[in-house]
Chain A
Amino acid sequence: MVKATAELDEGTAAPGRRPMTPHRILEALAILAAALLWSGIASAVEDEDLTALSLEDLMSVRLNAMGITGIHHTHARGEWMVGLSLMHMHMDGNRSAGHRVSRAEVLRDYPVAPTEMDMDMAMLHLMVAPTDRWTLVGMVPYLRLEMEHETRSGASFTTRADGLGDVELGALFRLWAEDIHRVDLLGMVRLPTGSIDVKDDTPMGRTRLPYPMRLGSGSVDLHPGVTYQAQTETWSWGVHAGTILRTHRNHRGYRLGHRAHVTTWLARGLTEWLSASVRLDGAWWGNIHGDDDALDPALVPTADPDRRAGRRVDLLLGTNIFSLEGPLAGHRIAVEGGVPITQWLDGPQLELDYRLSLEWTWVF
């Protein structure tokens, strides 16, 4: 299984609601379209009659229904999977250690305070299984980051960055499978395709953006992991553990902290086309080693390499809709949303408020 991870930080309350711009109206339409697709698939699946299928068709029907967003498994020989994940994380307010820190407190120590951040990621997945034990995996992320700030003078400004993130290539290996149980090993290499040189306009002029606004790590990273999962007719559960190891300093003279994550889930099939899941997702990450000379750590906490570490556990609820047969066979749409139940940050750092994801996969 592969777990798509995003390394972000957090921000302070933005009191007012944002206006309904055309951009946001488009976003709402995208959500509506997804909901319609969801209901359309549901009705199509319900109308199918399994007894009308030939023996060959029955043997091609898949039962891997209760997937978890961002988590994959080895496939049968010859199978392909394409997928697209849309992820959103919203950070609002600052936190240091285990408690919240007000904007005024941050501005006492720094001339500029981050107040809020949104991260959107679109991830394209491609998987192919040359054998029953090996599945090759490729993941291409596209990121859009936006961070709001306030200065001691009371002025506010926003920085934005978008572009290709760090591409991941690797493989899944089915270590063991028996009856309903299986164990997969994951070995991925994350390539430094995401820019660490992104710039935007700030009150100090056009400057290189601080660490959490960068699109990649700048280093070649290793991403090993192991997954156990089981599935009965109506229940599915599993646990995945993995780590991201930075192998060297990037060309700006720093490397991000290593990262470890553990996630465990329980899902239940509700109907023949729908399941619901609950998941606990924990992550630990370290401070940055070295620093980028272009950043002044006394100006804003996001530029301080010694204020980047943290740990967090999120509670997530999700639903899956899937098609076993018919023209939509092999398609799955998953929605998952969650909030942190505990987070500790070597801050002040922006704290996570909530996260949402929408994922479509097609196995053929």
Chain B
Amino acid sequence: VDVGLLNARRALAALLPIALLATGAASEAELKSAFVFRIARFVDWPEEHTAPGVLRVAVLGDDPLTHTVEAMIDGETVHQSRIEVRRTGTPEEATPCDILVVSGYPAPVEEILAAMGDAPVLTIGDAPDFARRGGSIGLVRDGSRIALEINRGALDARRLRVSSQLLRLATIVETGGP
């Protein structure tokens, strides 16, 4: 197509307003938040530790993912349980909760997890090697997609049961593994 109807000034003038439309939305954070929402359907917690009718999600770290989890899934429903998202300032303040989403928190993953003790909390994070460092589920970039890494040992230690459907879609890793 010959776009000779346009000259350079017109073309650049047309592009400029678009360039000023910055809103800062993060599609990757929204996608990961949707994963958090979906994953919750495939996990069973020990009955004695759950709050009836509520799925408690704590978010830790000042990052687009944790903010987006708050905005996207707070108030949604999973298996007749209403999701309640709570922002927490430290790992120690996170419990009691059923899911802890960690992103952009300035402490080593191991330190965050140690603060949770052996509480039955599904820990989900997007830090490098999150699952290999003891987290339950890592949200990792696989080229242009988001993939899941699951640490079965970490799930067992926290007495969490995950459906085979979720396991089939994820890469299974071990603590300290390659």
Binding site for B on A (CB under 8 A): 18, 23-24, 27-28, 30-31, 50-51, 53-56, 58-65, 75-76, 86, 88, 90, 118, 120, 122, 132, 144, 177, 179-180, 233-234, 268-274, 276, 317-319, 324, 335, 337-339, 353-354, 356, 358, 363
Question: Chain B nearest CB: distance from A319 CB in Å?
Answer: 5
| B118 close to A (CB within 8 Å) | no
With a CB–CB cut-off of 8 A, which chain B residues contact A234? 24, 26, 64
Q: Which of B21, B42, B146 contacts A63 (CB 8 A)?
A: B146
Contact surface of B with A, Cβ cutoff 8 Å:
1-8, 11-12, 15-16, 18-19, 21-31, 33-35, 37-39, 42, 64, 72-73, 76, 128, 141-148, 165-166, 169
CB contacts (< 8 Å) of B37 on chain A: these are 51
Is the beta-carbon distance between A317 and B27 smaller than 8 angstroms?
no
- B144: which A residues are within 8 A, CB to CB? 62-64, 75-76, 363
A144 to B22, CA, bound (A): 37
A61 with B31, Cβ < 8 A, contacts A51-B37, A120-B2 known:
yes
The distance in angstroms between the C-alpha atoms of A273 and B3, with both chains bound, is 25
Residues of A with C-beta under 8 A to B76: 51
Beyond contacts A58-B31, A276-B22: 4 other A-B pairs, Cβ-Cβ < 8 A, are: A24-B2, A51-B33, A75-B143, A356-B3
Residue in A61, A63, A272, A276 whose beta carbon sits within 8 Å of that of B18 in the complex: A276
Say whether A337 contacts B19, CB under 8 Å. Answer: no
Picked from B11, B38, B145, B166, the residue with its CB within 8 Å of the CB of A62 is: B145
Considering the complex, give the chain B residue whose CB is closest to the CB of A55.
B38
Residues of A within 8 A of B29 (CB): 233
The answer to whether B4 and A55 have CB atoms under 8 Å apart is: no
The residues of B that contact A90 with a CB separation of less than 8 Å are 4
Whether A120 lies near B21 (C-beta < 8 A) is no
B31, B146, B147, B165: residue with the most chain A Cβ atoms closer than 10 Å: B31
Q: Check B30 against A132 for contact (C-beta < 8 Å).
A: no
User: In the complex, what's the smallest C-beta–C-beta distance from A91 to chain B, in angstroms?
Assistant: 12
Judging by beta carbons under 8 Å apart, are B128 and A274 in contact? no
Kindly report which residue of chain A lies nearest to residue B10, judged by CB atoms.
A337
B63 to chain A: closest CB distance in Å? 9
Given A59-B147, A272-B27, A324-B31, are A356 and B73 also a contact pair (CB < 8 Å)? no
Contact check: which of B4, B19, B30, B38 meets A24 at CB < 8 Å?
Answer: B4
Q: Kindly provide the distance from the CB of B8 to the nearest chain A CB, expressed in whole angstroms.
A: 3
In the bound assembly, the distance between CA atoms of A61 and B7 in angstroms comes to 37
Known: A337-B8, A354-B8. A63 touches B145 (CB 8 A): yes
Candidates A55, A64, A76, A270; contact of B42 at CB < 8 Å = A55
Complex CA distance for A297 and B156, rounded to whole angstroms: 81
* B73 proximity list for chain A (CB < 8 A): 51
Asked whether A354 lies within 8 Å of B7 as measured between CB atoms, the reply is yes
Most buried by A among B2, B12, B29, B37: B2
- CB < 8 Å neighbour of A27 from B5, B8, B27, B147: B5
Once A317-B12, A356-B3 are accepted as A-B contacts, the answer to whether A51 and B34 lie under 8 Å apart by CB is yes
Nearest-Cβ distance from residue B140 to partner chain A, whole angstroms? 9
Q: Known interface pairs A317-B12, A356-B11. Does A180 touch B141 (Cβ–Cβ under 8 Å)?
A: yes
CB distance from A148 to the nearest CB of B (A): 12
A20 CA to B78 CA, complexed, in Å: 61
Docked pose: A76 CA to B143 CA in angstroms: 7
Interface pair B19/A324, CB less than 8 Å apart? no
Give Cα A268 to B22, complex, Å.
9
Which of chain B's residues has its CB closest to A62's CB? B144
Min CB distance A202 to B, Å, is 22
Closest residue of chain A to B11, judged by CB? A337
Q: Cβ of A269 and Cβ of B25 under 8 Å apart? A: yes
Q: Are A276 and B19 in contact (CB under 8 A)?
A: yes
By the criterion CB–CB under 8 Å, are A31 and B5 in contact? yes
Q: Which of B7, B73, B147 has the most CB of A within 10 A?
A: B7
Partner of A274, one of B3, B11, B21, B142: B21
Q: How distant is the Cα of A356 from the Cα of B3 in the complex, in angstroms? A: 8
When distances are taken between beta carbons in the complex, the residues of chain B under 8 Å from A53 are: 34, 38
Which residues of A have CB within 8 Å of B39?
55
Residues from chain A with a CB closer than 8 A to the CB of B64 are 233-234
Contact A50 B34, beta carbon cutoff 8 Å: yes
- Give the distance in Å from the alpha carbon of A272 to the alpha carbon of B166 in the complex: 27
**Once bound together, how far apart are the Cα atoms of A222 and B134, in whole Å?**
49
Q: Which chain B residue lies CB-closest to A88?
A: B3
Q: Nearest chain B CB to A308's CB is how many angstroms away?
A: 24
Contact B31 A358 (CB under 8 A): no
- A337 partner residues in chain B, CB cutoff 8 A: 6, 8, 11-12, 15
Q: Are A58 and B5 in contact (CB under 8 A)?
A: no
- Subset of 17 A-B contacts with CB under 8 Å: A23-B2, A27-B3, A28-B5, A50-B72, A53-B34, A58-B35, A58-B38, A63-B146, A76-B142, A90-B4, A118-B4, A233-B27, A269-B25, A270-B18, A270-B25, A271-B21, A337-B12
